[in-house]
């Protein structure tokens, strides 16, 4: 998980989703014919709340009524979580994009539109509870709860704290709310997968781990750093992990 050694990367121009991929956007994707490569995101049987008694304490946002509509309409603007790497990537590809590489994600959060690279998406200083969604777990024994007074759990992609967690290029929540799947295998930066000048990605066909970038609603403020990267099995469906997509030059019409 170390950010060393520093590696140079030369990137082609790309665009990135302004918001994290939402529950409502995934529902629209299904209506347009998308079929996930696995059984899709974990379906919630009850609305997200700190008092919910859900299996293994998972706070998954995806839900579906018998007619395919929303069982919990208030969750349509939550980021889609509890989703595997394969389904996240397939969703992006269905709309003409892909998951961002580690280099793309870090460039968007640390450098794009800035005079110098920053330690946090907002700048040199760590965000407070009103500037990013982190530390919103219900109890300190199982997760970070330093911002619990600001609200429990993940928040709407257009909520106040997520809109404050905004880069100069108008991309939101790169520091918090949900950590985000990237295209890359999760390898040390001195691994042979990264060897060579201007390596843009370390994307192995059968990677044991994939990299997730950024902090999340249940983690500490320190993980909102632009250099933060963690590894997760690609089949993992975690309530702290979601995704967003990148596209070459400009996104297809209708993609937000």
* Neighbour count for residue 136 (Cβ, 10 Å): 27
pLDDT of residue 250: 63
Kindly report whether the global pTM for this prediction surpasses the value 0.85: yes
Please give the pLDDT value at position 86.
98
State residue 251's pLDDT score.
56
> For residue 52, how far is the Cα from the chain centroid?
23
Specify which residues 166 forms β-bridges with. Answer: 172
pLDDT, residue 233, reads 97
Could you tell me if 81 and 41 are in contact, meaning their C-beta atoms sit under 8 angstroms apart? yes
Distance, CA of 23 to CA of 193 (rounded, Å): 34
Give the chain's length: 256
User: Own/partner pairs for 116-119, CB < 8 Å, 24+ apart?
Assistant: 117/226, 118/226, 119/225, 119/226, 119/227
Phi, psi of 160, rounded to the nearest 5 degrees: -55, -50
Q: Coil, strand, or helix at residue 92? A: helix
Residue 59 and residue 42: Cα distance in Å, rounded? 10
Alpha-carbon distance values, 129 to 135, 151, 161 (Å): 8, 10, 8
> 28: which 2 tokens?
């629209």
User: Each residue's pLDDT tens digit in the chain (256 positions)?
Assistant: 777 788 888 888 999 999 999 999 999 999 999 999 999 999 998 888 876 555 445 799 999 999 999 999 999 999 999 999 999 999 999 999 999 999 999 999 999 999 999 999 999 999 999 999 999 988 777 789 999 999 999 999 999 899 999 999 999 999 999 999 999 999 998 888 887 776 778 989 999 999 999 999 999 999 999 999 999 999 999 999 999 999 998 655 555 5
What is the enclosing helix (H) or strand (E) of 109?
helix 102-110
Q: Is 136 within 8 Å of 49 (Cβ atoms)?
A: no
Neighbouring residues of 69: CB distance < 8 A, sequence distance ≥ 6: 27
pLDDT at 24: 97
Q: By three-state DSSP, how is residue 86 classified?
A: helix
Candidates 36, 103, 27; CA nearest to 67 is: 27
pLDDT score recorded for residue 55: 47
Least Cα distance to 89 among 223, 221, 201, 219 occurs for 201
Tokens standing for 221? 């403020």
DSSP assignment string, 154-188: ---TTSHHHHHSB-TT--B-SSSSSEEEEEEE---
């Amino acid at each position: 998980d170390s950010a060393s050694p520093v590696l140079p990367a030369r990137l082609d121009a790309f665009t990135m989703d302004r918001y994290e991929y939402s529950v409502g956007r995934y529902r629209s994707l299904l209506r347009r014919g998308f079929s996930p490569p696995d059984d899709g995101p974990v379906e919630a049987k009850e609305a997200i709340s700190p008092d919910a008694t859900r299996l293994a304490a998972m706070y998954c946002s995806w839900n579906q009524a018998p007619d395919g509509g929303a069982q919990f309409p208030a969750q349509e603007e939550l980021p889609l979580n509890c989703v595997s790497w394969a389904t996240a990537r397939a969703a992006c590809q269905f709309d003409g994009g892909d998951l961002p590489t580690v280099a793309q994600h870090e460039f968007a959060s640390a450098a794009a539109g800035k005079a110098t690279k920053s330690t946090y998406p907002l700048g040199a200083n760590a965000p407070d509870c009103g500037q990013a969604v982190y530390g919103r777990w219900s109890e300190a024994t199982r997760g970070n709860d330093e911002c619990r007074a600001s609200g429990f759990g993940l928040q709407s992609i257009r909520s106040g704290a997520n809109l404050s967690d905004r880069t100069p290029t108008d991309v939101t929540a790169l520091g918090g709310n949900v950590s985000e799947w990237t295209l890359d295998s999760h390898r040390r930066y001195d691994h042979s997968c990264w060897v060579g000048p201007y390596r843009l990605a370390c994307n192995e066909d059968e990677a044991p781990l994939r990299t997730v970038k950024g902090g999340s609603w249940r983690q500490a403020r320190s993980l909102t750093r632009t250099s933060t990267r963690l590894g997760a099995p690609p089949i993992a469906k975690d309530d702290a992990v979601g995704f967003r997509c990148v596209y070459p030059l400009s996104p297809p019409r209708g993609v937000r």
